[in-house]
Amino acid sequence: MQPELKVISDFYDFMLYLIQRIEKFPRHHRYSLGIAMENRLQTILGLLIRARYSSDKQAWLDDANIELDILRFQVRLATDLKAMAVNSQGHAVKLMQGVGAQIGGWSSRSRGRRREAVRPTLGQAHRLGQLDPGGREGAARQARAAGGAGLQLRPGVRADAAGGRVA
């Protein structure tokens, strides 16, 4: 069994918080809006768990994001109907934003988006043998070859965008 993902753990904590608030709804809202919100919470949890074990995570994450957006409106409606306190709504919204950001990040990673490659650090360039021990000749040219990182490379050595040596 894989270790529990932070997004699932955080969503579970949010779920506990919101269910405790739903239990305090007036009866006529608890058995309509409250039940709908609880069902949506369980649906989102199921979608996140399915995404965790699926090789094609994107569809599950998109569905979870849509369900979370609908839940945002349900929480807002509960507040407007005076079934939920304004400060409870504020805390719930903050928790939902955190979970939504994590789902968005997970979704971006599963789409294959990657950050631009990081330039080599000074230590990495030294280990790769890219630093010019003298460091004075052609420092500007060498810095440009290193992608503007300001590292002084040996003459004739360039760094690619991923930080590897390109002779």
> What is the residue-level pLDDT of the chain in tens, covering all 167 positions?
667 899 999 999 999 999 999 999 999 999 999 999 999 999 999 999 999 999 889 999 999 999 999 999 999 999 999 999 999 999 999 999 999 999 999 999 988 744 444 455 655 555 565 555 555 445 555 555 555 544 444 555 555 555 554 54
Distance CA 100, CA 39 (A): 18
The whole-angstrom separation of Cα 35 and Cα 12 is 17
Closest CA to 92 of 42, 150, 22, 167: 22
Domains of the chain, start order:
6-110 (1.20.1440.60), 117-167 (no CATH)
Distance (Å, whole) CA 45 – CA 52:
11
Angle between helices 57-80 and 35-53 (to 10 degrees): 160
Q: What is the pLDDT of residue 80?
A: 97
The closest alpha carbon to 138, from 157, 123, 165, belongs to: 157
**pLDDT score, position 120:** 55
Identify the sign of the CA torsion 102, 108, 112, 116. Answer: negative
Unique residue bearing structure tokens 């809202």: 29
> Whole-prediction pTM value?
0.66
**φ and ψ at 156, to 5 degrees?**
85, 0
